[in-house]
Structure formats: C-alpha cells, structure tokens
Amino acid sequence: MDRRFGLAAAALAAVLLVWTATKVQYAPWTSPVARAVEQRGPLSDTEKATIEIFERVSPSVVQVAARSAANPLMEAEGPGASGTGFVWDREGHLVTNNHVVENAREVAVRFASGEVAQVDLVGVAPNYDLAVLRIRSVRQLPAPVALGSSSDLKVGQSAFAIGNPFGLDQSMTSGIISALKRRLPTNAGREIANVIQTDAAINPGNSGGPLLDSAGRLIGVTTAIISPSGSNAGIGFAVPADVVNRIVPELIRNGRVPTPGIGIVAASEDVSTRLGVEGVIVVRTTAGSPAERAGIRGVNLSSGALGDVITEADGKPVRRLSDLTDALEQVGAGRTVKLTVKRGSDPREVTVDVVDIDRS
C-alpha cells in the first residue's frame, strides 16, 4: 500500500513538473498591449502653489557664466558649473553674488528661453557678496522678481530656491527657513549680519539665485553652503532681502557701496569671551578717526589694561562686532551714532561720526 502510494505521488509530481515547464516556456514576459493609464485626482493645493511659484518666477532667473581673466576657459564657480542671477528691474539690471563674477573678464547670461545675452558689470559689494549686472541691449525682459521683506520671517516657514546647481538650469528646490540672524564671513573680511539659514537644497551653481517665500517673493539671495563634501548638506545661507534692497540701488547709482565705520580695531570674540566681557573691546583707534576725536580709548599696551568697551549703539545692545557693524550700516556714512561706552565700571554716552572707512 505504501509503495503504491509513493509511486502515485511520484507520478503526480512528474505531471505537475511537465505542466509547469510548459506554462513557463510559453508564458509571455510582457503583455502584448500597453496598460491603461490610471487617472489621478486633482493636484493638492500645496502642489498647485509650488507650481505657480516656479512658473511665475523661473523666467526671471538666469544662468550666469563668468570667464575669468586668469583662465578664460574656466567658469567662475569651477568647471561644469555656473552661477545664478535674477531680474531686478525693467531697466535690465540683474542681481547675483560678487563671488560669481569676481575677477571676471567677460560675463554672459542665459535666460530660461535659452537666449544668451552679454552683460556689463555695474558694481560689486564684496562686504555683502552682491553684484549688479546690466544687459547690454535691453530686450523684452521677464518681469522682475517680486520683492519681499526679511524682517518678518519666521523659522519654520516655507522657502524655495531656483537656480542652476552644477549647471543644471531652471532647478527648483524647497525646504524651510531653518534659522535667522546667522553671521556669514565674506571674502572681504567682514561679516554679513542677519543671514537666513535654509535647508532648501543649495549646491554650487545656485549662488546668486533667489530664495523665495510661499508667495513667490524674494526674501534672500542664496550665497553659501556648509558642507564637508562641497554638495548640499541641508545648511545653506542667503543674504536677507532687506540688505539686498538697501545695497542694490546704491550699486546701480554709484557702482560701489560705502563701508560705514568709526575707525576702531576691535578684539576678537574669543578674547571677549575669555575675559568675560560682553560688548566690543576697542584695541585701538586709527589716527584722526571719528572714534579718536570722540575720545574713545583702546587697550593700554604698556599695562595691558582694557580701555573702552562699546555696549550699545543708538540704544540697541552691542554684544559682538557684527552687532556694531550692523548698527553702523543701518545709520549709514555721513551721519552720527550714539554709543554707550564702558571704561572700567563707568558707562558713558558719546556721539560719533560715521564715515566711509574705505575713503577716509
């Protein structure tokens, strides 16, 4: 009985194997006809809003190619890459980063339409990493990017960047505003205050492009990233729109921006921290400067005793040098600023002229 059962099972298995092999042999790998496309529902409100931002703003964003005098075959940000710019006004002015066009022998831009135009350099502001270009022959320009304000931004609100990462033009990324009031050193040796931090993907080639809010308004100009690899690591920075709106008109008028100052050399923040001092330690004043004329005194080099520490500017706290430089920029060259200065434990107020230290 057991033997007959085993033989029957073996026979059944053989039949199944043959049947399966036959089916596999003749079964087609693909259907002979294309599959029907599944219809999707309407786009979400968020998707519609993002699409609308891109379609409205992207025609006003250009690819900037700057050939340097040192190597005319190399673009400003390196081989295979380029910078970004955007339309500022209807007179043909474009805004980008200073480091995109720095030392450039020739600059050209490509519009979203594919049209290429030669541009002239109108002015640069290395202290703010901003530059203004102008199209040589004014054509039918796309609309200027709508201007927003950076003063009322909130951490967590949406942010969108349009640019040319690695030369891939008309790329859009999105994220949030990750932090505000960052400080960003520039190639000129100063710091830009109130810089915007975002996790919207910013890569080489995005520099000089617009950072937008959910209404499609300009809230910043993308300028730098922090990344060990050189690619996006979720930490990007943008020059705030309020700074841009102050600097760009000055560049259009005069080709340069004054550097407001009072003529002091300040100690580093590390020194202030080690000494437990909150404020700007004046190391010395420059000869004939407004600070010297106002009686501000630096460190006594003989005894090493501290001189004056600046703690307020026009009633606002000064905790570090960027607070002071930001206050002076708000005041502007040719005006005066009221400083609270502490010498020892005695605070006093002094009124100091603010001058253009690049020309004083």
Q: How far apart are CA 244 and CA 310, in angstroms?
A: 27
What residues act catalytically?
Answer: 99, 129, 207
- pTM assigned to the model: 0.77
Can you tell me which residue has the tokens 């990007």?
236
Structure tokens at 52: 């609308």
What percentage of the chain exceeds 70 in pLDDT? 84
Residues 319-347 have a mean pLDDT of: 89
Under 8 Å between Cβ of 96 and 64:
yes
Q: Which pLDDT score, from 0 to 100, does residue 81 have? A: 45
Q: How far apart are CA 218 and CA 129, in angstroms?
A: 17
Residues 36-61 have a mean pLDDT of: 94
Under 8 Å between Cβ of 354 and 262:
yes
- 188 versus 65: the higher-pLDDT residue is 65
Is 2.40.10.10 the CATH number for 158-254?
A: yes
Residues 282-295 have a mean pLDDT of: 92
Q: How far apart are CA 239 and CA 211, in angstroms?
A: 9
Domain ranges of the chain: 47-135, 158-254, 260-356
Under 8 Å between Cβ of 127 and 246:
no
Under 8 Å between Cβ of 281 and 309:
yes
* Parallel/antiparallel/unpaired status of strands 260-261 and 264-266: unpaired
**pLDDT tens, position by position, 296-312:** 999 988 887 888 999 99
Q: How far apart are CA 164 and CA 171, in angstroms?
A: 6
Structure tokens at 286: 């420059």
**pLDDT, mean over the chain:** 85
The superfamily (CATH) of domain 47-135 is: Trypsin-like serine proteases (2.40.10.10)
What percentage of the chain exceeds 90 in pLDDT? 55
52 by DSSP, 3-state: which?
helix
- Please give the CATH topology (third level) of the domain spanning 260-356: Pdz3 Domain (2.30.42)
| pLDDT over 70 at 360, yes or no | no
Is there a common fold for 47-135 and 158-254?
A: yes
Amino acid at 117: A
Where does the pLDDT of residue 229 fall: very low under 50, low under 70, confident under 90, or very high at 90 and above?
low
Q: How far apart are CA 360 and CA 73, in angstroms?
A: 39
| pLDDT over 60 at 202, yes or no | yes
Angle (CA) 248-198-87 rounded to 5° is: 30
Lowest mean pLDDT among 1-10, 183-192, 277-286, 338-347: 1-10
